[in-house]
Amino acid sequence: MKLHSPFLLAIMGVVATSLVASAQTTPNTDKASVEKMNAYVGCINRLSERSYASRDRYFSWVKGKNGPTGKERIIYGTYTIYDTSDCRRNVEKANALAPRDAELEAAAAAYADAVSKLEPLLKEADDYYDQENYKDDKMAKGKALHPRLVAAWDAFAAADKSLRANVEAINDKRALEKLAAIEQAEGKKARYHVEALMINAKRVLRAETADKPDLAAITSALSEFEAIVIATEPFASAAGPDKIGSMFVSNAKSFLTTAKQLMRRIRDKTPYSTGDRMMLSGAGSGWMVEGSPPRLLRDYNQLIDAYNRGARI
């Protein structure tokens, strides 16, 4: 059975995370537990990023809280999402597996329900805007769809946040258990440094994208992350079983650079330029702004990709 990493990618929207990774084996996990977690993370990996992208696409041209007017200069419509039936089936199956966890299972069921309701609504909206039917009804249906779309996105975002929190709490525990097991079996060699680096990268991400960032917490997390990056770097030039891929180390250093830039913005209360604000408000362009949350998330996702491809290459 193929197992995935214990780290989730990040996705803008919550500020969030787009994903990957699922449960990780440790001395205390079994096949059923891994299968259960893989089902939940599989839903997130396949559906969350696109769901948030659909919302970003819509609100890139719908500016008023009351929805579209029909007088917009550009009307982009929205995006559809992938088929949600597999997610529903996998969640139902996973929720019946041991170990039972009522809170986790409820969060997974709520996620499957919310994303399943979002799918046909986005299809309806996409057909309406793609066929430019607003030119025939003076945007009547667009106005009617607006509150339904907002409610569906809000319900999805809440469900996604809850499921992620439950999954990450379990994965955080397992990641620490794995790190301790590696240290006991091998000492602080290559595998230890890779896992420790990923654990600390997540801490930095959480500290800097918190609703109310705490500078002391950010500084502490950054210091620990920088220390493990420095300790990991020599393994990129090592040979044999202790070699760590240079691309993985390069991605870690890029993430560190952006994290420092964002920390300085928060510490110094540095405002964004007019051009920066335009990119940050656009769909998918915020990552181009140095020292911004979208750039940090982009760099974190690239680090996750390098980890999942095999950090020790």
Model confidence at 312, pLDDT cuts 50, 70, 90, reads: low
CA atoms within 13 A on the CB side of 146: 18
pLDDT per residue as tens digits for the range 118-150: 999 999 999 999 999 999 999 999 999 999 999
Q: Which residue has the higher pLDDT, 288 or 310?
A: 288
Tokens of 187: 């000492």
Q: Tell me the longest C-alpha to C-alpha distance in the chain.
A: 69
pLDDT per residue as tens digits for the range 10-44: 443 333 344 444 444 444 557 888 899 999 999 99
**Where along the chain do its domains lie?**
1-186, 188-313
Model confidence at 283, pLDDT cuts 50, 70, 90, reads: low
pLDDT per residue as tens digits for the range 138-184: 999 999 999 999 999 999 999 999 999 999 999 899 899 999 999 99
pLDDT per residue as tens digits for the range 205-219: 999 999 899 999 999
201 Cβ contact list (under 8 Å, min separation 6): 225, 252, 255, 300, 303
The per-residue DSSP string of 90-110 comes to: HHHHHHTSSSP-HHHHHHHHH
The C-alpha atoms of residue 298 and residue 10 are separated, in whole angstroms, by 8
CA distances from 46 to 99, 104, 155, 156, 301 (A): 24, 19, 18, 14, 15
Q: Does domain 188-313 have CATH number 1.20.120?
A: yes
DSSP designation for 227: H
Radius of gyration of the chain measured on its C-alpha atoms: 21
Give burial (CB, 10 Å; 0-12/13-18/19+) of 139.
buried
pLDDT per residue as tens digits for the range 62-96: 988 899 999 999 999 999 999 999 999 999 999 99
Model confidence at 239, pLDDT cuts 50, 70, 90, reads: confident
Contact between 130 and 77 under an 8 Å Cβ cutoff? The reply is: yes
The C-alpha atoms of residue 120 and residue 145 are separated, in whole angstroms, by 12
